[in-house]
Structure 1
Amino acid sequence: MDQIQRDFVDRLADLGIVLSEPAQQLEQFEAYYRLLVEWNEKMNLTGITERSAVYEKHFYDSLTLASVTDLRDTASMADIGSGAGFPSLPVKIAFPHLKITIVDALAKRIRFLEEVVSSVGLANVVCLHGRAEEVSRKSEHRDRYDLVTARAVARLAALNELCLPFVRTGGTFVAMKGSDITEELEESLYSVKQLNGTIRDTVQLQLPEEGSARHLIVIAKTGSTPKAYPRKPGLPLKQPLVIGSGKTGSS
C-alpha cells in the first residue's frame, strides 16, 4: 500500500467505510485507474488522469454517498448517465454485495464500463446502452431500485425526470452536484412534486485535499411514477419540468 492508497483508506474511514477485503479492493481500484487512463487515450472519459487526483476527485468523491445513505443496507442501485463509471463502480468495489445497473446513452462508454467490470472482476453489474427515458419505461427497471444516483449529468429539474422513475417507492435518489446549487434546487421543486418525490436533505461536503465544494441532494420517492413520465427522449433536458413550462405531461 503506497501513500496515495493509505490516504484514500484514511479518508474512507472518515466516511465510515472500512474495506472488507482491503488488499483485493485496493487492487481493484488500482486496476480501474489503469484502465481509465488507458482508455482515456482513445476516447474522452475524464479530464482528470493524475493518479492522486483520480483517487480523490473520482473514487473518494463517488463514495461520499455513504455520508447520506446506508450503503450496507442497500441492495440495488442504478446509476444514470454514469460516464466513466462514477459513482457506481467505486461504490460497487467498496460495497461488493450491491446489485448495480448502469445506464448510459453512449455505446463506447458502455464498452469501457463492460471492460472495467470484466477486468476488475465485479459481479452483478449490468451495463445498459440506452436513454434513461426509454429504459425507465421497462417494467424490470421502473420503480425498482433502492438507490438511484446521477453525478454531474444535468440540472436537477431535468435529472428528477430522468432518475426518479427508476426509484422504488420508499427508495432514494441522490443527485451529486458541485458548488453552487441554490438556483437549480429552487427550480427543481416543481418536478420533484410531479414525480412523487420529496427533498429530504441537502448535504455540503469538501474534497479533503483539493478543497472544492460538493453537494449531495437526497430525494425520497413517496409514490409510484405517474404514467406521464418520463416524457419522450430529449424532452426532459430540452424542456425541464418547471413552473410555467406548460410541459407537465406532454409526450
Structure 2
Amino acid sequence: MNEANDLYEHKYSADRFRDELAEIHLSLTDEQVKKFMLTYEMLVETNKVMNLTAITDFDDVITKHFIDSLSLVRIKKIRDELVNRKDLKVIDMGTGAGFPGIPLAIVFPNVKFVLVDALMKRVKYLTALIEKINLTNVTVLQKRAEDIGRDPMHREQYDIAVSRAVANLSPLCEYCLPLVKVNGDFIAYKSNKAEEEIATSRRAISTLGGKIAGIETFLMNNPSDNEKIERNLIDIKKVKKIPATYPRKAGTPTKKPL
C-alpha cells in the first residue's frame, strides 16, 4: 500500500481517485495524493463552521470537485501548456473553496496560480490550506472581479483564466477576459445548456475581445447514482485587447449583461 493510502486507510482510500485520474490520463505521486486527502479533510472540517460546499461525501468530493477541476486537461492545447510551459500563469476567478485552482496547482507545481475570491473568510481558509499542504505555486487574493480586471498588475497578465460555477457566461466573460493576455484563453466550466449560454453571450464575447475556440463536452461519473453528469469546458480565445471601459463598475456586469 502506498504512503498516502496507508496514512488514511482508517478513514478512506485513494484507490478510486487514482482510477478516475487514469481516465483523464493523469497519474500522481504519493505526496500529491496525500495533498488531495489533506485538502478533503480540511474542506469538510472547515465546512462545519463555514459554508464552503454542499458536497462533503468523500466519493462525491473526489469526482465533483477534484476530478471535475482537473478535467481542464481534456482540452489538449491547455494540457500541453500546463505540462510543458515553465512560465505559465493561471488565474482562477471566484475560486470559492479553491476549485478548480487548488487541484490544478497540486498536479502542476511548475505553473503559477492566482486564486481570487471576494470574501475574506474564504481567502483565509485557502491561505491556511495552501500552507498546510505546502503549495508554493499559489497566491490567494481578496478582490472583486471588476476591480482586479482594472488593476494594471493583473489586467491582461495571464495566459489562462478559469472559472467554475460562478455566473452566466456573459458577465463571466466581463470578469475574466480582461485578465487574459491576447492569444490567451478563458475556460469556463459549465454543466449542460452550454450552447444556450454561448448563444446569448456572443455579443459579450465579441465586445470583450474573445472568440469561441471550442467546447469540450464529456460525461462525468456520479457516485450518488448510476446517472452520468454532462459537463462542458467552453474555450474562449482572447483575440484582441479589450476596450478600457471594461469591466464596468461593480454589479453592472450581472445586472446589465452585454
Q: Same fold (TM over 0.5)?
A: yes
Q: What's the CA shift string for 1:137-181, capped at 9, x where partnerless?
A: 111211011110000100001100000011111111000011222
Residue number in structure 2 paired with 1:83? 96
Return the match for 1:222 from 239, 242, 248.
Answer: 239
The SS at the match of 1:229 is coil
Distance, in Å, in 1 between the alignment partners of 2:221 and 2:16 is 10
Post-superposition Cα deviations, 1:179-228, rounded to whole Å, max 9, x if no partner, equal 22232110111111001110111111111344211111001111222211
1:125 maps onto 2:138 in alignment:
yes
SS at match of 1:212: strand
Q: Could you say which residue in structure 1 is the equivalent of 2:161?
A: 148
Matched, 1:100 2:117: no
Q: What is aligned with 2:69?
A: 62
Corresponding residue of 1:32: 39
1:73 aligns with 2:84: yes
Which has the higher mean CA deviation after the structures are superposed, 67-76 or 33-42? 67-76
In the alignment, residue 11 of structure 1 is paired with which amino acid? E
Within 5 Å, which residues of 2 pair with 1:154-233?
Answer: 154-210=167-223, 211-233=228-250
Q: Pick the aligned partner of 2:54 from 22, 47, 58.
A: 47
Unaligned runs of 5+ in 1: 242-251
| Residue in structure 2 matched with residue 246 of structure 1 by the alignment | none
CA distance in 2: counterparts of 1:229 and 1:87, whole angstroms: 25
- What CA deviation, in whole Å up to 9, does each residue of 1:90-116 have, x standing for no partner? 000111111010111111111111111
Q: Distance in 1 between matches of 2:52 and 2:222?
A: 23
Contact 2:105/2:137 (8 A) holds in 1: no
Indicate how the Cα distance of structure 1 residues 73 and 237 shifts in structure 2: closer, same or farther if over 3 A, else same.
farther
Give distance in 1, aligned partners of 2:25 and 2:192.
23
Unaligned runs of 5+ in 2: none
**What displacement does 1:136 show?**
1.5
What code does the residue aligned with 1:76 have?
K
Please tell me whether the aligned partners of residues 92 and 163 of structure 2 are also in contact (alpha carbons under 8 angstroms).
yes
- CA distance in 2 between counterparts of 1:111 and 1:29 reads 19
TM score, norm. by length of structure 1:
0.92
Letter in 2 for 1:10: D
Number of residues of Structure 1 aligned to a counterpart in Structure 2: 239
Root-mean-square deviation (Å): 1.3
**Cα distance, 1:4 vs. partner?**
4.6
Does the aligned pair in 1 maintain the 2:156–2:178 contact within 8 Å? Answer: yes
- CA deviation after TM superposition for structure 1 residue 13, in Å: 2.2
% same residue:
39
User: How far apart, in 2, do the equivalents of 1:194 and 1:54 lie?
Assistant: 37
Matched, 1:7 2:25: no
CA contact (8 A) 1:143 1:225 kept: no
Deviating beyond 3 angstroms after TM superposition, the runs of 4 or more aligned structure 1 residues are: none
The question of whether the paired residues in 2 share the 8 Å contact of 1:148 and 1:173 is answered with yes
